[in-house]
Amino acid sequence: MRNDTPAGALIFDMDGTIVDNMRFHEDAWGKLLTSHGLPFDADDFFQRTAGMAVGEIIAPLFPQATPAEVIALGEAKEVFYRDAYRGHVEALPGLLPLIARAASCGVPMAVASAAPPENIALVLDTLGLRPHFATVISPSQGFRGKPHPDMFIEAARRMAVAPEACLVFEDAPNGIEAARRAGMRAVAMLTMLGADAFAAYDNVIASAADFNALDRLPALRFG
């Protein structure tokens, strides 16, 4: 599909895309890991793990942990995050007008996020966005985290739209790679990284600090 073809469906990552909250996640990860005597480099950690399910991140960091302990560690990290982020939930600039325009044009939308259900609820329900999405997909439903393409492929299936017609919005290389593997075009949201971090991905058709900067993107001219 040509880069200037209007998208037939939109798929949004959540953390760092719908909301600019990744620094809160970083702080929570740092708190968890340093409390267990593990080193933590925020930039490296984001590059390696953003988009992965929390259990996929924790298991190799705590190789002696039982499955129940991995779950408990993950829950502890998410509690740290939610306690800090609650009260700061705000949509990325330009997102709400884009969603309204897509909805008015009958363009289906989905969320595909590695976040657990409680985190998804914190963002989508606080912002009142859930009714706008045809489906919300996460690893809690049995899907692998990014860079695996599973969630994006399932989102397209549930919306009854061909993968190549979907446009993905992502803030992390793992997410962009997942979109590439799914055969989808992507927009890199620069809430954490610069455009150079996504230069190697041939499915990236644009990059932007927020959604206001995408007003003239041909793939979003569906209305």
- Residue 155 binned pLDDT confidence (cut-offs 50, 70, 90): very high
Given 4, 13, 83, 210, the catalytic residue:
13
Active site residue 41: no
Does residue 187 have a pLDDT over 70? yes
Give 71-94 pLDDT, tens digit per residue. 999 999 899 999 999 999 999 999
Q: Of 55-64, 73-82, 145-154, give the range with the top mean pLDDT.
A: 145-154
Global pTM?
0.89
Does residue 157 have a pLDDT over 90? yes
Percent of the chain with pLDDT over 90: 79
**What domains can be seen in the chain, in order of their start residue?**
9-20+90-220 (3.40.50.1000), 22-85 (1.10.150)
Reduce the secondary structure of the chain to three states and give it as a string: CCCCCCCCEEEECCECCCECCHHHHHHHHHHHHHHCCCCCCHHHHHHHHCCCCHHHHHHHHCCCCCHHHHHHHHHHHHHHHHHHHCCCCCECCCHHHHHHHHHHCCCCEEEECCCCHHHHHHHHHHHCCHHHCCEEECHHHCCCCCCCCHHHHHHHHHHCCCHHHEEEEECCHHHHHHHHHCCCEEEEECCCCCHHHHCCCCCEEEEECCHHHHCCCHHHCCC
pLDDT at 1: 56
